[in-house]
Amino acid sequence: MKESIEFQTENKEFTEECHTILTAVSDALYVIGGKWKLMIIIAMARGNKRFTEIQRQVTGISARVLSSELKDLELNGFIVKKVENGYPVSIEYELLPYSQTLEELVNAMTKWGIQHRQKLKAEISAKK
């Protein structure tokens, strides 16, 4: 299957191929789109397991939103909530193996975000 984004003239095959790609990207955005989901997974991949830890690491997220996002992520098979009985009860969230399938995507986005910030910085310097 051809997946590269390319610049080319139109023909009938491209419309179908384009549709395939758009559907795939739409599927992905549906599950991991939005402001927080990838960031939560990244924070967890760095060892943050507790609710408060994650909230501290993911700057700006409120408890209400974090709670809701964690439920979504659990439903979609990225994480699991583990409750350890004891005094007090200890609750940890853990990444499931499926979250590792996002590694390439996260790396690509990180790389792009870094270069984009550098581009903006360069543009601002140029204007002075």
Partner DNA sequence: CTGTATCCATAACGATACTG
Partner DNA sequence: CAGTATCGTTATGGATACAG
Residues that bind a copy of itself (CB under 8 A): 1, 3-10, 14-15, 17-19, 21-29, 31-35, 38-39, 41-43, 45-48, 57-59, 95, 98, 100-117, 119
Q: Which of 107, 103, 13, 104 is nearest to 1 (CA)?
A: 13
Place of tokens 């979504």: 72
| Among residues 19, 35, 116, 121, the one that binds DNA under rule CB under 7 A | 35
| 3-state SS assignment for residue 102 | helix
> According to the binding rule CB under 7 A, does residue 51 interact with DNA?
yes
Least separation in angstroms between residue 85's CB and a copy of itself is: 24
Q: Binding of DNA at residue 50 (CB under 7 A)?
A: yes
Which partner, a copy of itself, DNA, none, binds residue 75 by CB below 5 to 8 Å per kind? none
Six-digit token string for 20: 């395939």
**Pair 37, 61: CB distance under 8 Å:** no
Q: Which does 72 bind (CB under 5 to 8 A by kind): DNA, a copy of itself, none?
A: none
| Among a copy of itself, DNA, none, residue 1 binds (CB under 5-8 Å by kind) | a copy of itself
Of DNA, a copy of itself, none, which one sits near residue 118, judging by CB under 5 to 8 A according to partner kind?
none
φ, ψ of residue 79 to 5 degrees: the values are: -135, 170
Q: Which two tokens stand for residue 99?
A: 């979250």
84 in Cβ contact with 90 (< 8 Å): yes
Query: 90 or 118, CB closer to DNA?
Result: 90
The Cα–Cα gap between 46 and 93 comes to: 12
